[in-house]
Amino acid sequence: MSPANETALRRSGVNSQDLVARLRVGDRRSLARAISMVETGGPQARELLAAAYPYAGNAHVVGITGPPGAGKSTLVTALALEWRSRGVTVGVVAVDPTSPFTGGAVLGDRIRMQALGGDPGVFIRSMASRGRLGGLARATADAVAMLDAAGFQVVLIETVGAGQGEVDIARAAHTTLVVEVPGMGDDVQSIKAGVLEIADVFVVNKADREGADKTVRQLRAMLHLADRQPGEWEPPVLTAVATTSTGSAAIVDAATRHLAYLRETGLADARARHAAERELAAAVQELALERLRGQAWHDLVARIASRERDPYGSAEELFNALFHG
């Protein structure tokens, strides 16, 4: 540990090894604190992630994405209850800022979610921080790692929308559920291409409404057009009424089958290697920027802006100073 890190840790009175040891034996306050620390990022977060790293990698990470109001949070609750009924522990990370987990719930949602309250086999966390270097995707992946290290067997990530940010977040998941609702339009274009690529399971929620069958047919027809190798995973299209937990068992079954498929085909290992590469690249970038952002950095930024210098030569100069200086 660098002297600067030691000072930072002493000041905050937190020892990463202790904190990880406590969250691993089920201390929820330590877990909450650890997630806050990784959300903030910086040297302390890295210490903590390093200490937790050997204990993570066991959870089945499941992303749930889809448009606002599709019923993702309600579905997360229903799925968590289903997994719990099978004796599986569940962590939840809600990235959706309008999520009822963060307080935006109508009464019915709160009542349903109370079914999860007080259960030591469930831990729900909403992501707050936006400012971290590397962004929300990194902070989310690190929060997932903490829940994973704490021993939660399934970790659910709720994200809204279909932008690049959500795709990045979904990459942290083994299995991605894409939630649609009936009446999304007759036009297949209304389903964003990016979402199609990341979907391992489609859920047509609000199947108590008119048009669910049609939406299912459209999705299946679209999936049929995709080129697939023999034996390749074909995303099932399932229906749900999240408010009554209808369809939860079939969704949990499909997610479980998808994980088995990833393991049997060796894709799970390949994904783990890809993830490791991304993590290493991100860590190198974070560390390099942190070390390089001194006075010389700001001088260079000003000179590059005025075209006195160019970014490539400047980067080389900074690196040379870092490694040989």
In angstroms, what is the minimal distance from the CB of 254 to ligand GDP? 17
Residue selected from 12, 57, 69, 185 as contacting ligand GDP according to rule CB under 6 A: 69
Q: With respect to Mg ion, which residue has the nearer C-beta, 96 or 142?
A: 96
In angstroms, what is the minimal distance from the CB of 287 to Mg ion? 34
Instruction: Annotate the chain with three-state secondary structure.
Output: CCHHHHHHHHHHCCCHHHHHHHHHCCCHHHHHHHHHHHHHCCHHHHHHHHHHHHHCCCCEEEEEEECCCCCHHHHHHHHHHHHHHCCCCEEEEECCCCCHHHCCCCHHHHHHHHCCCCCCCEEEEECCCCCCCCHHHHHHHHHHHHHHHCCCCEEEEEEECCCHHHHHHHCCCCEEEEEECCCCCCCHHHCCHHHHHHCCEEEECCCCCCCHHHHHHHHHHHHHHCCCCCCCCCCCEEECEHHHCECHHHHHHHHHHHHHHHHHCCHHHHHHHHHHHHHHHHHHHHHHHHHHCCHHHHHHHHHHHCCCCCHHHHHHHHHHHHHHC
List the interface residues with ligand GDP, window 258-287 (CB under 6 A): none
In angstroms, what is the minimal distance from the CB of 98 to Mg ion? 6
Q: With respect to ligand GDP, which residue has the nearer C-beta, 44 or 245?
A: 245
In angstroms, what is the minimal distance from the CB of 283 to Mg ion? 30
Residue selected from 205, 218, 239, 248 as contacting ligand GDP according to rule CB under 6 A: 205
In angstroms, what is the minimal distance from the CB of 204 to Mg ion? 17
By CB under 5 A, residue 73 contacts Mg ion? yes
User: What string marks each residue from 214 to 253 as x (binds ligand GDP by CB under 6 A) or -?
Assistant: ---------------------------xxx----------
Q: With respect to ligand GDP, which residue has the nearer C-beta, 45 or 201?
A: 201
* Burial environment of residue 15 by CB neighbours within 10 A (0 to 12, 13 to 18, 19 or more): middle
**CA pair distance 165, 130, nearest whole angstrom:** 12
In angstroms, what is the minimal distance from the CB of 233 to ligand GDP? 24
Q: With respect to Mg ion, which residue has the nearer C-beta, 47 or 96?
A: 96
Q: With respect to ligand GDP, which residue has the nearer C-beta, 19 or 101?
A: 101
In angstroms, what is the minimal distance from the CB of 116 to ligand GDP? 14
Q: What residue is closest to ligand GDP based on CB? A: 71
Q: With respect to ligand GDP, which residue has the nearer C-beta, 208 or 253?
A: 208
Q: With respect to ligand GDP, which residue has the nearer C-beta, 100 or 236?
A: 100
By CB under 5 A, residue 77 contacts Mg ion? no
> Buried (b) or exposed (e) across 225-257, using 16+ Cβ within 10 A?
eeeeeeeebebbbbbbbbbebebbebbbebbbe
Residue selected from 30, 48, 60, 71 as contacting ligand GDP according to rule CB under 6 A: 71
By CB under 6 A, residue 161 contacts ligand GDP? no
* Residues within the interface to ligand GDP (CB under 6 A): 66, 68-74, 96, 98-100, 106, 108-109, 205-206, 208-209, 241-243
